[in-house]
Structure 1
Amino acid sequence: MAYLNRPSSSTAFNKLPIELNKEIAHYLESDEDICNFRLICQATHDAIDGDNGSFWRAIYRETYAYVAASSNDFLKKDYQCRRKYLNWGVIHGFSKHGNDRVEVKVIQVIKSLILDSYQGQHGHDEFDRPRCPNQEQLTKFICDSKNFLGIKPQSSSSKPNLALIAVQIMCAQLMFEGDDLTYDIIAFDISQRAVYASMKHAPMFVGPGKSMVNMEWTLHCLNFFRHHMVKEEVQSLFHLMSQLEPGDKPSAWREPLRNGCYPLSRNWKGTYAYLEAEELTRIRKTAKGGRRNQKADDYLYMDKNVESDGQIQLSWPQSLESRLNSLRETMPPKQSKAQHRGAASRVRDQSIRLSGHGLDADDDFFASGWLNPLIPQYGIPGWQRVTFMKHFVNDLDNVLNDDLWAYEGVVLPGGRMMFGRWWYASIDPADPHYGDNSGPFMLWAVDSDPNLEVVSDYDN
């Protein structure tokens, strides 16, 4: 066996220059072919591992986002590590829900592709939209994998791997187009019950200081809207989405991920869903373990279009803050509590104000709110909390408090999609039924002039 693995010195490849042998290697279609080619003879071995490892730099640049400062030896090891664990994830799947030692390593490799995306030069797809080779590799992994984005929810007795859910959410941004990507991430009926849960039972943000995204709810919300957009047989949003230009459909991040609060794209489209009060009561009883009622699965979809032209910039009334709590701390404070400035002042320094204007049933309305930064979630930076209030004003530009609709959500890293919950906010926030009338919403950035636009007063 040792003799068989020793490179030959008498094959025809030994007569070819190393540059030509490397060129041949680049035409090989699989890693297995590269390994076999390397073992043919000394010349093919040198073409792969010789010449200071230049082959590995070249193949890395063809496959992944490329950081020029990395050594050839590092690129070789990183390439082989990524291919090893991604192949393992495709072949074996995630039977342990991301908690097995090797499954954790696969998740780390997927996260590295996300974090390293858009490093150095990147290309464009057929519609001239930015596209990173790391995203291409993630899409291929999703298509080839047995169950990466279809992992069934765990039983209530075991805790989900939230780091897995975070990378699922990131990868799911790539799943709004493509015939091979039409399956549900989670069974739709499960996601439907989840997104209509009340804010008391399923808050958008959890953990110390409510600084952590409710990853499970966010993935359910993404799956809920994606189901309506990509499944023709559902007969809801599929035909509307198919009529949109490619640049107006939901798309994944288009730049390196970054920490903190950052301005959003100017142009957005969106939709939201609701159930009647009686249906909400039924579906919430079902979600708590009650008897399943088929009528609880009925729902109506209505597009919400907001158009902002920057003509009005309202102050932030206490009546809105008491309902949305937009200015609460979302990041560790940069200065101690003993210092003279209050929490609201600190939040204002690191947050971005939003304002919007539009029409609803021929009535002018305004949207006013905030973007707040969030700490990195499970090693992934760039998440933001968004809150805004849909409201009306009188002739003196005073907010009318009898028709308020609150929105709270999470902007996914890259700033191209946001998911969250709306609720009727005109009743007293102290009322025990405050927030009961609620449902999910989705907004996504578009390239053309929109029917919905979110604008910040941040100068960029």
Structure 2
Amino acid sequence: MPRSLRSTTGRSRLQPKPKMQPQTKIHAHAHTRTSAHRYARTFEILPVEIRQLIADHFEDDKDVASYRLICKSTNYSIDEDEGSFWRTQFLNSYDPPESVPEGYRSTVNEWFKQQYQSRKRAEGQKFVFDSGNSEEEANCLVLFKDLLIDTFNTSVCKAKKQSVHSPNMDRIERIAKAKGLLDCVLRRPTTRANKSPTNPVLLAIQLILTHLSLTAPLSSKMAKVWGFPDTQAVVYLPNSSRPIFKGPTCQEVDIDWTLHVASFFRNYLLSKQEPTHIHYENLDRFERPQGWTKPLSTSPLKLGKHWKGTYAYVDHDEIAQIRSGFHEDYPVQDHMCGEDTAETFQDLRLGFPKGQLEFWPDIFEHILKSRAKIEYRTPTTRAQKRATGPDALPEGEPVSFCFKGGGEDASEKFQASGWFNPLPPQHGIPGWHRMTMMKYYIDESSGQPDLDSLWAYEGVVLPGGMVMLGRWWSPTFDDGPEYSGPFIFWNVDASMPAIADDTQTTG
């Protein structure tokens, strides 16, 4: 046969094609339907608890949505058992809420579902914090408040045993970093059209999270301080022009001023150009500011005994220069306690007598007004009435808790006496306290307190009782304007395991 008449298979093109055998037509998704049916049968024979347990292990809610699409059994399992899946999801993701509605089990579980999904929506919003006034920012601030109030909470949802870990604390830190909450502290709004002032709730939450700012990596935006000359001018303002506590009953914290104090020290502790940073960087991790480990409450807290901190000062003739704003053209260098000694930070050890202070002369009270009777009414929600000690805050009465202490300032020993006063919730968040303290020295010749060398301290204990920020001043210096400056203390009990749990109930 000629080559031209042969096909590549060797069969002649003139030969008839062999008769094709009839074949069954195969549908494209027959195998898929068979597999899905097999999977459906697999899930149908599982108890609902097992099907829900499988969904509990998904880390992403998108996986839960995909799980529901497998078959009817997986879809129904999410809502079966009166919606208990959503209650479990909430309690696996967050601390138990302080307030849970009463009613049928299905009604309560539906509430958990709504709360869980609402929080997840707020977490999933794509934005970066600016002034706190946009709808997205406002929704996220509501979420932050709820998370803060519920940290380390125990309730009927779980056994009433103090938790050593708070899922909310982890989420607060994660969301704050993702949304840039602490990247914009005291920064002017970036939107030109936005002339409204910064949302005060944003400022309050930024202040409460000071421990995160002060432990941020140097490369982080959280370590940056905006407008330091303005901050320096604010923190040196005297009591007469910028009191820390305001309002008709002096129970409202000046959040803006206190936040300036936090930013002021963040500049000196985290800036590589500042000598204080070197000593701060050499501190052990547990010697730096830590987050709180107990529920936030207006009721008595357990404050730690060991504190570390510093204060800033300038020369007497430089006070007026800073307060007038002239320091922007002619910068004034701040000084920190013990900067010329081996003891860069001030150590403070507190003790909490159960009775009255042995040494609290009238001059101390006249200067600090620690025991002033201020109208106070305990809030009535369960979150605000929660007690963490045997002595709950009586309704309608202010309560003060005394302390005595001592420490070293630039290797010089000092004594201290003072009081903690619980404050009402600020912007809906409980746990704030006023601290007043008189720092004095013992005259070596007489062995008596030197009342001509007193240093008064007044400040705010942030919710959680781990950080104090405020103002010191010299009540015995009468020549010229009031001599004052900012201070900071943070609790370091965690660096001393032997005494970490040895605390007393105080404010």
Structure 1 residues 65, 333: CA separation in 2 closer, same or farther (over 3 Å shift)? closer
- Per the alignment, residue 438 of structure 1 pairs with 484
Q: Which moved more, 1:254-263 or 1:97-106?
A: 97-106
For 1:304, give the aligned amino acid. Q
- Whether 2:264 is the aligned partner of 1:214: answer no
- Distance across 2 between alignment mates of 1:348 and 1:49: 48
Q: Determine the C-alpha separation between the residues in 2 that align with 1:50 and 1:347.
A: 47
Partner of 1:125: none
Q: Distance in 1 between matches of 2:503 and 2:81?
A: 52
Distance 1:19 1:390, change over 3 A: same
Aligned residue in 1 for 2:324: 285
Residue equivalent to 2:386: none
C-alpha displacement of 1:313 = 4.8
Q: Displacement of 1:438 after TM fit?
A: 1.3
Distance 1:313 1:67 in 2: 38
Q: Choose the corresponding residue for 1:93, options 109, 113, 128.
A: 128
Q: Report deviation, 1:245.
A: 3.4
Deviations 1:21-51 (A, max 9, x none): 5454344342233333333432332233333
Structure 1 residues 172-191: aligned runs within 5 Å? 172-179=210-217, 183-184=222-223, 186-187=225-226, 189=228, 190-191=230-231
Question: Mind listing any 5+ residue stretches in structure 1 that lack a counterpart?
Answer: 1-7, 123-128, 335-345
What is the aligned length? 421
Aligned to 1:378: 427
1:364-403 alignment to 2 at 5 Å? Answer: 364-394=413-443, 399-403=449-453
Instruction: Identify which of 264, 269, 272 aligns with 2:311.
Output: 272
SS of aligned partner of 1:76: helix
Q: For 1:301, which of 336, 339, 352 is the aligned residue?
A: 336
Quick one: distance in 2 between partners of 1:401 and 1:440? 22
User: More deviation in 260-269 or 149-158?
Assistant: 149-158
* Higher deviation after alignment, 69-78 or 111-120: 69-78
Instruction: Give the Cα–Cα distance (whole angstroms) in 2 for the partners of residues 146 and 246 of structure 1.
Output: 23
Q: Counterpart of 2:487 in structure 1: which amino acid?
A: F
1:155-180 CA-to-partner distances (Å, cap 9, x unmatched) read 99744422221122223333443537
Matched, 1:108 2:142: yes
Q: Give the TM-score normalised by structure 1.
A: 0.79
RMSD: 3.7
Cα gap change, 1:58/1:275 in structure 2, threshold over 3 Å: closer, same or farther? Answer: same
Contact 1:261 1:384 in 2 (8 A): no
Specify the code of the residue in structure 1 equivalent to 2:311: Y
Does 2:63 correspond to 1:33? Answer: yes
Seen in structure 2, the aligned counterparts of structure 1 residues 98 and 223 have a Cα distance that, compared at 3 Å, is same
- Aligned pairs for 1:326-337 within 5 A: 326-332=370-376
**Could you say which residue in structure 2 is the equivalent of 1:126?**
none
Alignment pair present for 1:75 and 2:112: yes
Question: In 2, are the aligned partners of 1:261 and 1:371 still within 8 Å (CA)?
Answer: no
**Counterpart Cα distance in 2 of 1:98 and 1:329:** 36
Pick which of 62-71 and 367-376 moved more. 62-71
Question: How far apart, in 1, do the equivalents of 2:164 and 2:374 lie?
Answer: 31
> Counterparts in 2 of 1:196-275, with a 5 A limit?
196-231=236-271, 233-275=272-314
Aligned to 1:402, the other structure's residue is in SS state: coil
Q: How does 1:333-344 map to 2 (within 5 A)?
A: none
In 2, Cα distance between equivalents of 1:457 and 1:142:
32
Name the CA shift for 1:46/1:333 in 2 (closer, same or farther; >3 Å): closer
Does 2:468 match 1:418?
yes
Contact kept? 2:306, 2:350, Cα under 8 Å = no
Distance change (3 Å), C-alpha of 1:113 and 1:292: same
Q: Are residues 206 and 30 of structure 1, via their aligned partners in 2, closer, same or farther at CA, if it must alter by over 3 Å?
A: same
Match of residue 178 from structure 2 = 144
Whole-angstrom CA distance in 2 between matches of 1:34 and 1:294: 61
Residues 132 and 202 of structure 2 are in contact (CA less than 8 Å); yes or no, is this contact kept in structure 1?
Answer: yes
User: Quick check: 2:376–2:397 contact (8 Å CA) kept in 1?
Assistant: no
The more displaced of 66-75 and 49-58 is 66-75
* Structure-2 change in CA distance of 1:373 and 1:27 (3 Å): closer
The 3-state SS of whatever aligns with 2:450 is strand
User: Quick one: distance in 2 between partners of 1:278 and 1:185?
Assistant: 29
Counterpart for residue 121 of structure 2: 84
Letter in 2 for 1:143: K
Rate the CA distance shift 1:442–1:331 in 2: closer, same or farther, 3 A.
farther
Cα deviation code 1:112-141 (max 9, x no counterpart): 00111112399xxxxxx9431101000010
Aligned partner of 1:169 in structure 2 is: 207
Contact kept, 8 Å, 1:263 with 1:352, in 2: the verdict is no
Checking the alignment, whether the CA contact within 8 Å between 2:183 and 2:224 is kept in structure 1 is yes
CA displacement at 1:327 relative to structure 2: 2.1
Could you say what secondary structure the match of 1:99 adopts? coil
Question: 2: distance between equivalents of 1:456 and 1:67?
Answer: 27
* Closer, same or farther: CA 202–100 of 1 in aligned 2, 3 Å: same
> How many angstroms apart in 1 are the aligned matches of 2:247 and 2:39?
61
Change (3 A) 1:307 1:265: closer
Q: Is the 8 A contact 2:477 2:483 kept in 1?
A: no
- Pick closer, same or farther for the CA change 1:68–1:43 going to 2, 3 Å: farther
Alignment of 1:125-144 (within 5 A): 130-144=164-178
- Quick check: 1:421–1:440 contact (8 Å CA) kept in 2? yes
Shift of 1:329: 3.4
Does structure 1 conserve the Cα–Cα contact (< 8 Å) formed by 2:352 and 2:402?
no
Q: Identify if the C-alpha distance between structure 1 residues 405 and 84 changes in structure 2 by more than 3 Å, giving closer, same or farther.
A: same
Give the direction of change, closer, same or farther, for the CA distance of 1:130–1:425 in structure 2 (3 Å limit).
farther
State the alpha-carbon separation in 1 of the partners of residues 396 and 483 from structure 2: 29
Query: CA 1:13–1:111 in structure 2 vs 1: closer, same or farther (change >3 Å)?
Result: farther
Q: Distance in 1 between matches of 2:417 and 2:458?
A: 12
User: Structure 1 CA distance, aligned partners of 2:282 and 2:303?
Assistant: 25
Distance 1:22 1:237, change over 3 A: farther
- Say which is worse superposed, 51-60 or 417-426, in terms of deviation: 51-60
Does the 8 A contact of 1:329 with 1:347 survive in 2? no
| Cα distance in 2 between the residues matched to 1:440 and 1:54 | 51
* d(CA) in 1 for partners of 2:132, 2:416: 40
> TM-score normalised to the size of structure 2?
0.72
CA, structure 1 residues 349+299, in 2 after alignment: closer, same or farther (shift >3 Å)? closer
CA gap 1:247/1:444 in 2 versus in 1, 3 angstroms = same
Contact 1:386 1:411 in 2 (8 A): yes
Q: Distance in 2 between matches of 1:291 and 1:421?
A: 20
Cα 1:12–1:63 shift into 2, 3 Å: farther
